[in-house]
Structure formats: structure tokens, C-alpha cells
Amino acid sequence: MKEARVQVLWLIESDDANRAAYDGPAADGLAAAGFGRMVVGASNALTTSVGQRAMVSGTGRYGSLNVSLTLLNTTDVGELQIAAKLQTQNPSPFQLDTTTRVPVGRWVLLGAAETRAIHPTHVQDGHRSVMILRIDPGVLVLQ
């Protein structure tokens, strides 16, 4: 693979019905893994050449999400190695620094941590936050 599209979502557990629940393709897998109702804290996307360092930073409702990563080919078809550094900037920061192999075209959990990213209005609000990621081949052609 030469180029890849990467999507990163920072999701936060929240029981607050006033916040829209994450209902994307990874929702069932997160629920099966024991995570509660999730809301999107921030999302980032980037396109990169395999073997090159890439970085994207953005600010969502609950803080900033900074993503720095490098993708490397592996000998296994349909899999890439990722070296990723993800960090949120808010009153309850989340940092993740990992290197792992991930399947192409599938959502994967990169990490989870306790958080108070959402200023709680309920005792059950904001227990854990997670970083999930998906890598797809090629660039997104818009025209």
C-alpha cells in the first residue's frame, strides 16, 4: 500500500441524553467490550503516504485532539503497522503512545482511560474515554 486514509475518533462515555450518542460502525463492538453509551469528543482524519510521518490537530466540543502517526507496510496482506501518538488537551487530558499492527478497513480500539473530559452534570457522566481508529487504502478522491 502506498497511501492511506486514517480516521481517529475520541469517544467519551456519557449518560446525558442531551448529548447525541455515537452510533457509528464501531458502536456495537464498543458495547460488546463493556463500554457504555459514547459521545464524540473530537474526530480527526488525514491522508498519508505509508512510511511518512503525518500529523493533524483539531478542536472538538470537549477539547483538542492531536494525532501524530506513521504507517508501515507489513508482510501480512490487509494489515499495517502504526506508530501513533494521540493527545487531548482539556481539563482531563488523555495521552496515548503506541505501536501496533492493525487491520485495514476495520475500526480498532487503540486505547482507553478514565476521564473527566465532560464536565459532569450527572454522577455517571464521563467515566472513560477511548481512541478508535480506522485505516483505509488510498486517498479520498472528491472529483
Predicted TM-score (pTM) of the model is: 0.89
What's the rounded mean pLDDT across residues 87-93?
85
- Of residues 6 and 63, more confidence is placed in 6
- What is the C-alpha to C-alpha distance for residues 6 and 133, in angstroms, rounded to an integer? 7
Q: Residue 28: its pLDDT value, please?
A: 97
Q: What is the rounded distance in angstroms from the CA atom of residue 95 to the CA atom of residue 80?
A: 22
Asked whether residue 109 carries a pLDDT value surpassing 60, the answer given is yes
pLDDT of residue 121: 56
Measured between alpha carbons, how far is 132 from 91 in angstroms, rounded to an integer? 21
Q: What is the pLDDT of residue 123?
A: 55
Residue 114 binned pLDDT confidence (cut-offs 50, 70, 90): confident
Angle at 17 between CA 22 and CA 113, to 5 degrees: 55
Residue with cell 485532539: 65
Find out whether 88 and 42 touch, Cβ atoms under 8 Å. yes
